[in-house]
Amino acid sequence: MLRFLMALCLSLTAASAQAFCGFYVAKADSSLFNQSSKVVYFREGDLSVITMASDYRGEPADFAMIVPTPVVLPRPSVRTVPAKTVQHLDDYTAPRLVEYHDGGPWCGDIEFVVVEEAPGAAPTQRERARAQGVTIAAKYAVGDYDILILKAEQSDGLATFLTDEGYTLPEGAAPVLNDYIKMGMKFFVAKVNLSRHAAGESRDLPPLQIRFRSRDFMLPIQLGKVNADGPQDVLMYMLSRKGRVEPVNYKAVDLPTDFDVPAFVENQFPAFYRALFTKAVPKGGGIVLEYAWDMGWCDPCAADPLTGAELRELGVTRLTGKEEMVPEIYVTRLHARYAAGQMTQDITFRETENRQNFQGRFVIRHAYTGDFDLGDDPTAEDPACLADYVTETKSRLRAEGKRLAEVTGWPLSEINTRLLPTIPERYR
């Protein structure tokens, strides 16, 4: 029996770039979080193009996905996308750690495969579905996946059909399915075709992309919570020509950003970011804004902006040529975390004209360790200025520890224990 993973959108490095006056040294990409899904969502007018990538690492035979959709998706509306394109977008928008060195005191003034029904006297799949009040509105294959588009009259019949077809539904799935049936939603069901997958070059499951038109600008998340055994993370990369994309029925909180952190954080950045995000996200589940910027530039860059060719792969329309930078496309990175009983509404969105830049950015500022020797000429440097610099640097380094405790919840005593060995002797 196949294990049926009721995931919303699948539960799916560029070289470091030199930034102005500093260097990017680490990023908080999706690999820091377990049970995380990545969803790229391009919206223009009533067109929605959703690319779904997963961190699923089990056997391909145990994988399947169901996504409620407002319309029946014809075969040309579904395709696979190179995983590296989604990863590039994750790298580009990831919160980043940057490093600056203090100069010291200044004292001067796709191919489609048709799936055929196997001949035989046994009831066909469509007949088995019809007997349960389920209609197979479409059936086709895309890449490694076999796709069914289902319409159902009631959740019991849909659950029975899926179970009879070899899917094991998690406990509690039927009521959630019923809610979507009442909304008139259809069901996009994908599972891995083992023979085609085995014949391919990669063992990873490629991201799936669906395209449809609907007045509703929303992301269904309730099915993904049915078999959750803990908090789930969903990273949403919203692409728009207008500006930031904001959730309507939830308030996104801004990630704490643009502050100095002690130098030891460089070697503990994953733990630091996980702690910071956990403290920032609302306790009852919610959404955090991690990045908002256009595709024309970045500072500091955790990866280069996506090219026009890559954006077309993610469904962006009306692009010409192979533009290396596409500043009219604006990306909003939203990071949601919720458990089974949290965020009980699907997420609805709106496009805005706000194009103000925002990024998760944390700074290591190394204190000056050069020579302070004034020599025989007391006019060479201002002793009072040097003393002020040392005093200010001592204060800054200690403030970094306090701020780190505030944003992570780490005990200040433990932070100070790690901090002291990293402070040059003259600043202790």
Q: What is the DSSP code string of 196-251?
A: HHHHSS-SSPPPEEEEEE-S--EE--SGGGTT-SS-EEEEEEEEESSS-EEESSSP
Q: What does the block give as tokens for 111?
A: 């191919």
CA distance 315 to 311: 7
Direct distance between the N- and C-terminal alpha carbons of the chain, in angstroms, rounded to an integer: 64
Task: Answer whether residue 346 is part of any domain.
Answer: yes
Q: Which domain holds residue 25?
A: 2-109+111-366
CA distance 312 to 211: 13
Task: Answer whether residue 96 is part of any domain.
Answer: yes
Task: Answer whether residue 73 is part of any domain.
Answer: yes
Q: What does the block give as tokens for 360?
A: 């998760």
CA distance 132 to 162: 10
Collapse the DSSP code of 121 into the 3-class scheme (helix H, G, I; strand E, B; otherwise coil) and give the result.
Answer: coil
Kindly tell me the number of DSSP H helices and DSSP E strands found in the chain: 9, 24
Per-residue pLDDT tens listing for the chain (428 residues):
223 233 333 322 222 232 233 455 677 888 776 677 899 999 999 999 999 997 666 677 777 788 899 999 999 999 999 999 999 999 999 999 998 887 767 665 544 455 555 555 577 888 888 889 999 988 989 888 889 999 998 888 898 888 888 777 777 788 889 899 999 999 999 888 888 877 766 667 889 999 999 999 999 998 877 766 788 899 999 999 999 999 999 999 999 999 999 999 999 999 999 999 999 999 999 999 999 999 988 888 899 999 999 999 999 999 876 677 789 999 999 999 998 889 999 999 999 999 999 999 999 988 887 776 544 444 445 677 777 878 888 888 889 999 999 999 999 999 999 888 888 888 87
CA distance 42 to 110: 19
CB 297 within 8 A of CB 325: yes
CA distance 408 to 256: 10
- pLDDT of res. 169: 75
- Residue 135: left if φ>0, alpha if ψ -120 to 50, beta else—which one? beta
Task: Answer whether residue 246 is part of any domain.
Answer: yes
User: What's the number of domains the chain is made of?
Assistant: 1
CA distance 51 to 40: 5
CA distance 420 to 64: 51
CA distance 386 to 328: 47
Task: Answer whether residue 426 is part of any domain.
Answer: no
Task: Answer whether residue 293 is part of any domain.
Answer: yes
Spatial strand order in the sheet of 145-152:
64-69, 186-192, 145-152, 134-142, 112-113
Task: Answer whether residue 425 is part of any domain.
Answer: no
C-alpha distances (whole Å) from 328 to each of 82, 97, 292, 350 are 23, 26, 13, 18
- pLDDT of res. 305: 93
Residue in 170, 158, 142 with CA at minimum distance from that of residue 150: 158
C-alpha distances (whole Å) from 175 to each of 156, 181, 182, 220, 266 are 9, 10, 11, 15, 46
